[in-house]
Structure 1
Amino acid sequence: MRSETQERFYPMDRGNPFNPPEDYAELRDKAPLSRVRLWDGTHPYLATRFADIKVVLSHPRFSCEPNREGFPHVLEGRMVADKADRSFLRLDPPEHDRLRRMVTKEFTVRKVEQLRPRIQETVDRLIESYTSLPQGADFVEHFSGPLPTEIITYLLGVPFEDHEFFHRATRIQFGSKSSQAEVRQSLDELFAYLDALIDAKEKNPGDDVISRLVAEQLVPGHVDRETLINIVRLLLSAGHQTTQNMTALGVLTLLQHPDQLALIKQDPTLIPNAVEELLRYSSVLHMGARRVALEDIDVNGHIIREGEGVICSIPAANRDGELFPDPDRLDVTRPQARSHVAFGYGVHQCVGQVLARAELQVVYGTLFNRLPDLRLAVPFEQLRFRHDMFVYGVHELPLKW
């Protein structure tokens, strides 16, 4: 471990694949707002304490717009995707609020509960399909990848048969080794695809989110075409990328913690809380939420100057012992598990979190009941984790049942 006065390069390496980098705990205790160095030579702050991160993510004068001077770009290729993004995710209020309201009604608790039978049917069918394969089949390829993709494409009205195209685009746009040129080309291809899809929805609308956005927002002129394409791109990528990785990583985490898995098998009413604890414990958005100060701002006694960037570490916040006693222990009965910031915090928190929770609850509530002997098919040490991606998880998960 280094002194807190020594500058770290970001992103940092993990020791244990289930835990955030060891430096986070040291920084949280000694220098919870400290400078780090990025690939482009810039030196934003890294926030590692829950209380500080809540201030940054809720303060109206911290901007999330990636084209502003000082905004921290943690990956070279990702910078291209961020700067091209015109969805509400990368806009400040009031424009953020106006655009977000266009889609929030599609992801309410009532809407998601109406969708739950379809989620259950999809999970049941994918389990049947998965268990028809040879023992050791990849759970990511045959279950955790298809599940959220099927659900989000159904909701949006996107042809599921094009899922390989979306997954390839996501791998490029979220990969740490992707060049700017590769990301730019991938974005151009995805934009062209979505532009053509919106054309098709104008001519032949269906009962889906894109058709409603076209009819209710694009045609009356409430949103321009480029912005609508960006909104659909956000919903499509976020709708499968994060849930896919959280599904597989959560299954692996439970398999590696058999005492906790036994608890939810014995008492299925624990599953909703277990989902919250797994979200806290795993925190797949491991490269954080980023902001830049629009003026000098006091963050619990530390002044962030105008134009200085801040990376809010979601994994570090979710392992803060001030809020979560014994934070490195998985505890599916943890009373305050839902206090995590796995979906972000403030006005920009994940618009699809109700859907993600429902999918995870159905998976964990069904999978281990249907396959009580589910286990790893390879030694744990052979698993490849997604250190190289903006969203954390496992590349493959071979299982036996």
Structure 2
Amino acid sequence: MSYLFPTYTKWEVEPASAAGTILIDKNGKRYLDFTSGIGVCNLGHRPKPVEDAIQKQLDQYWHLSNLFVIDKQEAAAKMLADAAGLDLVFFANSGAEANEAAIKLARKQTGKHKIITFKNSFHGRTFATMAATGQEKVKVGFGPMLETFVTIPFNDIAALEKEMSDDTAAVMLEVIQGEGGIITAEEQFLAKVAHLCKQHQAMLIIDEIQTGIGRTGKPFAFQHFGLKPDIVTTAKGLGSGLPIGAVIGKGNLSSAFGPGSHGSTFGGNPLSVAAATATMEVVFQDSFLAEVKEKGEYLAKACSALLSLPQVKEIRGLGMMLGIGLSVNVQDTLATLRKAGLLALPAGENVLRLLPPLTVTEQEINEAVAMIQNTLTNQSLTAVQG
């Protein structure tokens, strides 16, 4: 009997240890982990610089309160703000909390309530972020959603132009929809979003929970498109596995988040900030990001060989965030891959999602792609014989 609420469908793998790209289960079986804890362990499992930073902080103090001036928070906030080209940071504990805070910030700053989001988006599971999410399955059974969220088709300029007005507080989007199937926004669409936000004095909120902290070969994915958002949210890869999220915003938003307007008991926890700082010190190096870009291109090229298989319809994504569109339900494929020794993720019903650590080697990429090819080939043969 489990004492946990059954909110997750558990895999048959019980981890015993992990380092880098490799996870070992309690039976000693080795896996290549191309999930990175769902885009969290961007430097792999237990990266030494992060481990050392956490241990050093453990020897000093674990928790204070955000009533204190904490120089390490200030230093981490500056690193984030500089990387995003913005000015101010609020630390939270997760991506959902960061998005929740961004929604509050946009509404308070503008004095308006309507926020436009997009179909197949995913922004979290709190009431506000659930309402913002463009997937009905997330909302089933929870009753009426928080009002004034309007969801329209992604990459649809006509729908956007029709919905935007002076009553719009913000447009909230992912540059690459992760949970929605690894769908990348079109450059023309993003340019129109930015133009209309400026025209109607609406905030542009970019959700970088999954795409941020180097995942696409730049500090943030919006930087591939020349965008200048008002608010950026990030989490997952920021703390290399310790719980931390952040809202990054323009300096003119400071008055909207003054004393008492928002808060978090554990947000900016010293251990999480130490992990985040050590992570950013590695990831935001130009040489490291150049390697991520090169390895992302290598991964895409290696996966392109899969297009010869009948089940594979499309390869899409950016950097180390890749989706393999299949004509079959992805869950059976993922289960077979786990037996072969590869951990991967779904993105919707028919997309196999690869989120390897940014430190993955070409050899590990080749090994993973070979396992995918063998699995899909065997499934195809079995289907023909059946």
**TM-score normalized by structure 2?**
0.26
Q: Which has the higher helix share?
A: 1
RCO higher in structure (CA 8 A, sep ≥6): 1
Q: Which has the higher strand share?
A: 2
**TM-score normalized by structure 1?**
0.25
